[in-house]
Structure 1
Amino acid sequence: MAYLSFTGLRAATGIAAAMAAMLAFSLPASAQEDPSAAKSAPAHTLKIGVIGPFTGASADFGIPMLNGIQQAVDEINAGGGYLGRKIEIVRKDDQANPDVGLKLSQELVAEKVAATIGFCNTGVAAKSLEVYQTHQLPLIIPCATGTPLTAKYPGPASYIFRTSPSDGIQAPFVVEDIVKRGWDKVAIFADTTGYGEAGLKDVEAALAARQLKPVHVARFELGVKDLGEPLKAARAAGANVVFSYTVGPENAVIARGRQALGWKVPQVGAWTLSFPFFIEGGKEATEGALMAQSFIAEPSNERRASFLTSYARKYKVRKIPVPMAAAQGYDAVYVLVHSLFGIRDGKLTGPAIKAALESKNRPYYGVIATYEQPFSKQDKEATTQNMLVMGMVKDGAVTFAYPEDAKRNLFVQRKQ
C-alpha cells in the first residue's frame, strides 16, 4: 500500500481526514490484513487525563494548552478515534496550586485514565510527579519547563515525559544570543517559586559555561508590585541586560520599573516573556524584549498555517494568548496517540504505553517539530535546542527576532 505524507493529506483533504488516513495507515498489521480485526476493537472510550490551571492567574497559558489538546482530540475523534475508540478527556483544573494538583492527580489515577497530559506550573507538577511514577501512569508535560521535572527519576524507569522545551535548553539558548549581541553583564531577576529557582540555576550554569557570572541577582515573591530598589542595585552593578525568570505579572513589573528609572537596557528571558501578562501589562515598556520560542504564531509553513486557522475557527479568536502552550499541547496528543499504534495486543497498560512512547515509530509531522523518536528509555525530552528561535516583542506582538529564523522556520525541525 502506498504511503501518503501527513502534510500532503492535510493539504488535500483537511486535518480530520488527514488524521483518519494516517491512523488507517498506522493500524497494526493484523488489522490491515483482516478488516474485521479493527471492527472488533473495543467500543468503549479511551480516557486521557488533562490537568492544568484553567482558572486563576495561570489560566492565560493553561487555557491555550487545554484548547490545543481539545483541538487534537476532536480531530482524531472525527477521523474515527483510536482503533474505533473515541478519546475522552478527563479534565482537572489544578488552579496553579500544588496541593490541588496533587489531589487531582490522585483522582486521575482513581478514574483509570490511560495517560495524562498536563501541568503548566513547574512547582505544581513537581509535587505530583510521585503519583504518576508510583502508579506507572505516563505523564506528558506540554507546558511546564522546569528542568528538574524530567530529572527526578532515572530515565529507563521514568514515566515522566515532556514536549515543552525545558529551561535547561532555553536558558543557554538565550545566553548564547545575548553574548552574541555583546551583552555580558547580566542581572538576573527570578521569583522564589520552583520555576524561578530552577530557572535561576539554569541561567547561572549557562553563564558559567561562557565564563561569566551575573553582576546582580534579585529574588522576589509572586505578587510583588514594585522592584525599583533591586533594579537600582542592578543598574549600580553595571548590568547591561536584565534576564527575568518569572511566570506572571512580575515580568511586567520589571519592565515598568526599568521604564520608570529611565534605564534603557534590554529585558530577555524564557518563553514567559511572550505571555499577555508581560506584553499587555508592560505595554510600551516591553517593546524589544527577547525570549526563547518553540512556536511563533505566524503561518510560516503549511502545518502551522493549518493549525492556526483551525484554532481560530474553532475557538473564534483572532489570536492565541500563548501560542506555544496551544501548539505543544496539540502535538502532545498526537505524539501519544501515534505511539499507541505500537502496542500490538491492544492492552494499554502504563508500562506498555511507556514502552510505546520510548520506541521509534513512523514519523509524526507535528506543528512544533517532526517527531521521529521524541523519547527513548534514557531521554524523556521531545524538544532539543535546534527547535528554538528567538522571539521579540514588536508592536505588542511576538515575532521573529531574526529574519533568517523566519526563513528557517519554513522547514520544521527534527530532534538532534
Structure 2
Amino acid sequence: MSSPVPLRLLRLALGALLIALTPAAPAAPGGEPIRIGVSGPFTGGSNPMGVSMREGIRIAVDEINAGGGVLGRPLVLLERDDEARNERGAQVVQELIKEGVVAGLGIVNTGVALASQRFYQQARIPVITSVATGSLITKQFLPPQHPENFVFRISASDTLQAAMIVEEAVARRGLTRVAIFHDATNYGQLGREDLERALTEHGIQPVAVERFQLRQADMLTPLRRARAAGAQAILTYGIGPELAQIANGMARMGWHAPLIGSWTLAMSNFIDNAGPNAEGARMPQTFIQEPTTTRRAAFLKAWREKTGTERIPVPPAAAQGYDSALLLAAAIEQAGSTDGDRIREALEDLRAPVEGVIMTYDRPFSRTSHETITDTGDISMGEVRNGQVVFAYEDDRRRAARQ
C-alpha cells in the first residue's frame, strides 16, 4: 500500500500547478532605460494644452512599460517646462539632448517649435510634435538643403484648420463679411496668413484684420472697428485667455456674431473665463471627449484613474500626446535600435498599424510626408455647449465612431 503524500509536498505540487496554469504576466522591462524628452508649457497661459499633452504621454508610457517596455527596456520621460517662450524652448531642448534623449515628444507653441526643433534636427534626433499646429513646422528642414527631416507631427496643421474655419463661415453659413482676430505670436501671425489664403480661395477678403498682444485685456476697441466694418463673424487665431476677452467683449457690446476659430477655442481657460459667452463657439478638433469607440473609452478611463479628474483641460492635446508616444515606441521597436537615423527611417516606414485614440495609424508617415493628418476628413468640428466641447455635427460623431 502506498504511503500518504505529506501535506507539505501536496501544497507544493498544487502551487506549482497553479503557477503553470496562470497566464504569464509581461516581464517587467529591465536594462538601461530609454530616455525620451518631453517639453511643453506646463505653466502660464498655454499650460492647459501642455499639461493635457504631458498627461496623455505619461498614460501611454505607463501602458508601454506595463507591457514590457520597448526592446525589453523601460521608457523614461525627461520633462521640461518651456514656458511657451521661444528662447526657453531652445534652451530646454539643448539640455535634453545633453542628457541623452533618443527622441523628443511634445512642443505646443508654434514659435517654440520653430526655435527649438532645429537642435533635434542638428543632433539627428527625431521629434514628434504632439500639439503645435503651424503649417511650417514639418517643412523647416526639407531637401535639398536638408537631405533628412527629423521633424514629424501628429496634430492638424493650420492649413487644414483654416480651410475648415472658412468652410464653416462661408460655405455652411453663407457669410461673406468676416473679421480676423489673431495674436502677435508666430502662431497667430501664421494662422492669419492661412486664414487669408483660405478666404481668397472663396473670393473673399476680410473686412477687418485685428492683431492683439498676449495678456491684452481691452478687446472692445478692435471689436468696435470690426463691427463698424460690417463683420458678420469673427475668425480667431489665439489662445484661451485672450479668446475669452474677445467673447466677453462681444457680450458687453451686445454683439452676437459667430465666433469661429482654431482648435484653441477648446481650451479650458477660454471656456472657464468666458463662461456663458463661450457658448456656440466652434473650432476644428482632432479628438472630442466622448467614448465613441472602445479605445477612446479606455483612454478616458485611464485619464480618470491617472489624474483623478473627469475633465481633460484640452482633450485634443491629451489624445495627441498619447498617440505620439505610441507611434514613437512602435518606431523604436521596429528599428530594433535607439539610433536616431534608424528611428527616423522606421517612422517613415511603420509596417504595423498602431491603434491610437485619434485613429488607427496605418503607415502614417513617409519619407516625403511627416504629417499624420493630411485631410480635413480626419478632423471634426467642435462646439462649446453647456461649458464643454461636443460634436457640432452628428455626421462627425458617426464618422468618429467608425475610426
Query: Which segments of structure 1 move beyond 6 Å, counting only runs of 4 or more?
Result: none
Per-residue deviation, 1:117: 0.2
Confirm or deny that 1:374 pairs with 2:345: no
For residues 1-150 of structure 1, what are the structure 2 equivalents within 5 Å? Answer: 43-150=31-138
Confirm or deny that 1:266 pairs with 2:253: no
5+ long unaligned stretches in structure 2: 1-22
Per-residue deviation, 1:360: 3.4
Q: What one-letter code is carried by the residue in structure 2 that aligns with 1:362?
A: A
Separation in structure 2 between the aligned mates of residue 378 and residue 213 of structure 1, nearest angstrom: 33
- CA displacement 1:124-170 (0-9 Å, x = unmatched): 11111221111111111001111111111116521111101111111
Residue in structure 2 matched with residue 400 of structure 1 by the alignment: 391
CA contact (8 A) 1:294 1:389 kept: yes
CA contact (8 A) 1:339 1:361 kept: no
Paired residue total = 375
- CA displacement 1:184-210 (0-9 Å, x = unmatched): 211000011011011000100111111
Residue in structure 2 matched with residue 391 of structure 1 by the alignment: 382
Per-residue deviation, 1:71: 0.3
- Structure 1-normalised TM-score? 0.87
CA contact (8 A) 2:175 2:233 kept: yes
CA contact (8 A) 2:323 2:358 kept: yes
Per-residue deviation, 1:276: 1.2
Residue in structure 1 matched with residue 344 of structure 2 by the alignment: 354
CA contact (8 A) 1:225 1:250 kept: yes
CA contact (8 A) 2:232 2:258 kept: yes
- 3-state SS in 2 of match to 1:409: helix
For residues 223-234 of structure 1, what are the structure 2 equivalents within 5 Å? Answer: 223-234=215-226
- 3-state SS in 2 of match to 1:66: helix
For residues 131-170 of structure 1, what are the structure 2 equivalents within 5 Å? Answer: 131-154=119-142, 157-170=148-161
- CA displacement 1:294-319 (0-9 Å, x = unmatched): 00001111111110011111110011
Residue in structure 2 matched with residue 305 of structure 1 by the alignment: 297
Separation in structure 1 between the aligned mates of residue 302 and residue 113 of structure 2, nearest angstrom: 29
Separation in structure 2 between the aligned mates of residue 166 and residue 337 of structure 1, nearest angstrom: 23
Separation in structure 2 between the aligned mates of residue 44 and residue 409 of structure 1, nearest angstrom: 39
Separation in structure 1 between the aligned mates of residue 350 and residue 319 of structure 2, nearest angstrom: 22
Confirm or deny that 1:187 pairs with 2:175: no
Separation in structure 2 between the aligned mates of residue 214 and residue 150 of structure 1, nearest angstrom: 28
Q: What one-letter code is carried by the residue in structure 2 that aligns with 1:390?
A: M
Q: What one-letter code is carried by the residue in structure 2 that aligns with 1:404?
A: D
Computing the radius of gyration from Cα coordinates, the structure with the larger value is 2
- CA displacement 1:71-94 (0-9 Å, x = unmatched): 000000001101210001111111
- 3-state SS in 2 of match to 1:112: coil
Separation in structure 2 between the aligned mates of residue 184 and residue 360 of structure 1, nearest angstrom: 44
- CA displacement 1:385-404 (0-9 Å, x = unmatched): 21101000001111010112
- 3-state SS in 1 of match to 2:240: coil
Residue in structure 1 matched with residue 9 of structure 2 by the alignment: none
Residue in structure 1 matched with residue 12 of structure 2 by the alignment: none
Residue in structure 1 matched with residue 240 of structure 2 by the alignment: 248
Q: What one-letter code is carried by the residue in structure 1 that aligns with 2:47?
A: A
Separation in structure 1 between the aligned mates of residue 49 and residue 68 of structure 2, nearest angstrom: 29
Q: Describe the shift of the 1:391–1:259 C-alpha distance in structure 2 as closer, same or farther (beyond 3 A).
A: same
Q: What one-letter code is carried by the residue in structure 2 that aligns with 1:58?
A: S
Per-residue deviation, 1:57: 2.1
Residue in structure 1 matched with residue 11 of structure 2 by the alignment: none
Per-residue deviation, 1:382: 0.8
Residue in structure 2 matched with residue 29 of structure 1 by the alignment: none
Per-residue deviation, 1:258: 0.8
CA contact (8 A) 2:45 2:241 kept: no
Separation in structure 2 between the aligned mates of residue 247 and residue 393 of structure 1, nearest angstrom: 15
Confirm or deny that 1:211 pairs with 2:203: yes
Separation in structure 1 between the aligned mates of residue 265 and residue 114 of structure 2, nearest angstrom: 22
Per-residue deviation, 1:42: 7.6
Q: What one-letter code is carried by the residue in structure 2 that aligns with 1:90?
A: L
Separation in structure 1 between the aligned mates of residue 75 and residue 318 of structure 2, nearest angstrom: 19
